[in-house]
């Protein structure tokens, strides 16, 4: 048969006599034999010999949600979707935002979780209730303490011109370390967003909280058949945010107005960890030195939606839907535990001269860019001479730290 492929229908010289009459029958014979060979091979082919171009493999669905990457412009997907899906993948709900309501121009993400339950804390939370105050009272609880500012960012200072005798970044770090000691003495695990004079952006701090939950979920899934492509993608998002380390424009999937689909998924996973809370520590300032005392900020779903509406100001085709699955009751209860405990244990923190001690109207990144229950605590005013003097006193910081720690105990155990 190989000679057929060497056959030349026309030679170098014209054929003489009747040679040309045989050309057409020979060509037809070659074609018939080739067709017969092809049909035979197809009929006898085994399933394993399927051409590579026709094969389909089982992969997890693309987990980048709306197809955006870490910078919101593309990339970081986990593979092309196929006709079959991995039955062990992490289930992610690929739903659509709610329609806008009458008189509103922003969309909302549905309040239903976008990710399957991977962590169930109900037994732990139930076991915390009623525990006596002691060395194991907060066992199972994790507190992320976030001392604000650091490094090149001193925060609020006094006096305003150097040399400064009072610097917010130093005072809140000292306070956080003292609070950590109190909490650890009662069995809690404490994670610090910074434990030195180092600057991390607000988005970096939110990403730290995201990474903590991703790591815990991965550890919990170890040894199970669950595939972790979604977690791998989220790891890369958090690493990208930390590498940017920027307060403005550095939030990637957790930056900007509204909520990216991937961020919504992350927040819904974090919401499965009510035993983990985030407390951000700061010192206030105001134009009127008579204003002093405590302020505690928290954020709930409706407040966040209204804040974004005011921020955006009008219809925007590029605006992402707004996240609406914060545990508003738990956030309020945590904020109230801080206000009530500090007001009783450290009465000097009583708010004087102006604002209320409890505020639910600010879109701070450390409040809106995570699904954990979180509060931001302004422990006093640097501009108030009484507050300023107290915050420079180590004994006073010990009292503040004990009250902050006790507020965590009150929140979980009382």
More confident residue, 102 or 283: 283
Q: Return the SS3 of 167.
A: strand
Where residue 250 falls among pLDDT bands split at 50, 70, 90? Answer: confident
Q: Are 149 and 201 in contact (CB under 8 A)?
A: no
Judge whether residue 6 has pLDDT over 60: no
Judge whether residue 53 has pLDDT over 60: no
Q: Are 312 and 398 in contact (CB under 8 A)?
A: no
Name the token pair of 320: 């992402």
Taking only the tens place, the pLDDT of each residue in 311-366 is: 999 999 889 999 999 999 999 999 999 999 999 999 999 999 988 999 998 889 99
Least confidently predicted of 85-89, 131-135, 237-241: 85-89
Judge whether residue 83 has pLDDT over 70: no
Left, alpha or beta for 201 (phi > 0: left; psi -120 to 50: alpha)? beta
pLDDT of 24 reads 60
Name the token pair of 198: 């180092």
Q: Return the SS3 of 111.
A: coil
Please count the residues of the chain: 414
pLDDT of 68 reads 43
Taking only the tens place, the pLDDT of each residue in 369-381 is: 999 999 999 999 9
Q: What is the mean pLDDT of the chain?
A: 86
Least confidently predicted of 47-61, 120-134, 196-210: 47-61
Distance between CA atoms of residues 291 and 270, nearest Å? 36
Judge whether residue 174 has pLDDT over 60: yes
* Domains along the sequence of the chain with CATH: 122-413 (3.40.630.40)
Judge whether residue 47 has pLDDT over 50: no
Distance between CA atoms of residues 321 and 107, nearest Å? 5
pLDDT of 27 reads 63
Closest alpha carbon to 284 in 296, 300, 302? 296
How far are the Cα atoms of 2, 26, 347, 372 from residue 8, in angstroms, in the given order? 13, 11, 106, 79
Q: Are 392 and 332 in contact (CB under 8 A)?
A: no
pLDDT of 3 reads 32
Compute the Cα dihedral for 259, 263, 269, 271 and give only its sign.
negative
Determine how many CB atoms are found less than 10 A away from the CB of residue 127.
13
Distance between CA atoms of residues 98 and 165, nearest Å? 52
Average pLDDT of the segment spanning 259-288: 98
Partners of 98 in the β-ladder? 108
**Under 8 Å CB-to-CB from 303, ≥6 apart: which residues?**
360, 361
Taking only the tens place, the pLDDT of each residue in 109-159 is: 999 999 999 999 999 999 999 999 999 999 999 999 999 999 999 999 999
């Amino acid at each position: 048969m190989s000679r057929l492929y060497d056959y030349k229908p026309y030679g170098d010289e014209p054929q003489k006599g009747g040679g040309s009459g045989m050309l057409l029958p020979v060509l037809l014979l070659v074609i018939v034999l080739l067709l017969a060979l092809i049909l035979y091979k197809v009929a006898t082919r085994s399933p394993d010999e399927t051409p590579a171009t026709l094969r389909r493999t089982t992969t997890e669905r693309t987990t980048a949600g709306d197809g955006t990457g870490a910078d919101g412009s593309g990339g970081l997907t986990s593979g092309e979707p196929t006709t079959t899906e991995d039955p062990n993948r992490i289930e992610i709900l690929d739903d659509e935002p709610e329609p806008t309501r009458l008189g509103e121009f922003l969309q909302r993400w549905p309040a239903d979780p976008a990710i399957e339950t991977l962590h169930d804390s109900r037994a732990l939370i139930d076991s915390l209730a009623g525990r006596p105050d002691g060395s194991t009272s907060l066992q199972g609880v994790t507190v992320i303490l976030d001392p604000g500012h650091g490094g090149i960012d001193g925060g609020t200072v006094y006096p305003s011109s150097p040399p400064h005798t009072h610097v917010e970044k130093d005072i809140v770090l000292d306070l956080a370390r003292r609070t950590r000691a109190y909490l650890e003495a009662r069995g809690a695990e404490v994670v610090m967003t910074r434990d030195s004079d180092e600057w991390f952006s607000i988005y970096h701090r939110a990403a730290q909280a995201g990474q903590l939950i991703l790591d815990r979920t991965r550890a919990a899934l170890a040894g199970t058949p669950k595939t972790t492509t979604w977690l791998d993608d989220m790891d890369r998002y958090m690493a990208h945010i930390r590498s940017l380390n920027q307060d403005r424009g550095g939030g990637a999937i957790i930056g900007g107005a509204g909520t990216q689909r991937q961020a919504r998924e992350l927040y819904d996973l974090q919401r499965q960890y009510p035993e983990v809370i985030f407390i951000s520590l700061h010192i206030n300032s105001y134009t009127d030195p008579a204003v002093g005392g405590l302020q505690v900020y928290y954020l709930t779903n409706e407040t966040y939606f209204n804040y974004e509406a005011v921020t955006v100001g009008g219809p925007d085709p590029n605006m992402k839907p707004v996240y609406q699955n914060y545990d508003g009751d738990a956030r309020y209860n945590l904020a109230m535990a801080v206000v009530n405990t500090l007001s009783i244990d450290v009465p000097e923190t009583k708010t004087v001269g102006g604002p209320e001690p409890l505020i639910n109207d600010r879109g701070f990144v450390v409040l809106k860019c995570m699904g954990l229950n979180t509060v931001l605590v302004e422990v006093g005013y640097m501009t108030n001479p009484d507050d300023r003097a107290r915050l420079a006193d180590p004994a006073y910081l010990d009292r503040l730290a004990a009250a902050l720690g006790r507020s965590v105990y009150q929140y979980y155990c009382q």
